Amino acid sequence: MSISKELLDILACPKCKGDVRLDESANGLVCDRCRLFYEIRGGIPIMLIDEARPLAP
């Protein structure tokens, strides 16, 4: 299950307020500036900084 383009267009990283993009597997959103991964569960992006996973450098 993926999120709509309209929702993706309005979402922003809660840490830096920058753009997020859908990752290659469509299982989450990525902030390239903060290097954080926000998981999508049941079609709902979990946009909590405490739940985000850091990406490998």
Domain positions in the chain are: 5-54
Rounded distance, CA 53 to CA 3, Å? 19
Give the model's pLDDT for residue 1. 54
Question: What is the b/e burial string over 10-42, where b = at least 16 CB atoms within 10 angstroms of the residue's CB?
Answer: ebebbeeeeebebeeeeebbbbeebebbbbbee
Q: Judge if pTM exceeds 0.85.
A: yes
pLDDT tens digits in sequence order for the chain, 57 residues long: 578 889 999 999 999 999 999 998 889 999 999 999 999 998 899 999 999 999 987
Domain formed by 5-54, architecture: Single Sheet (2.20)
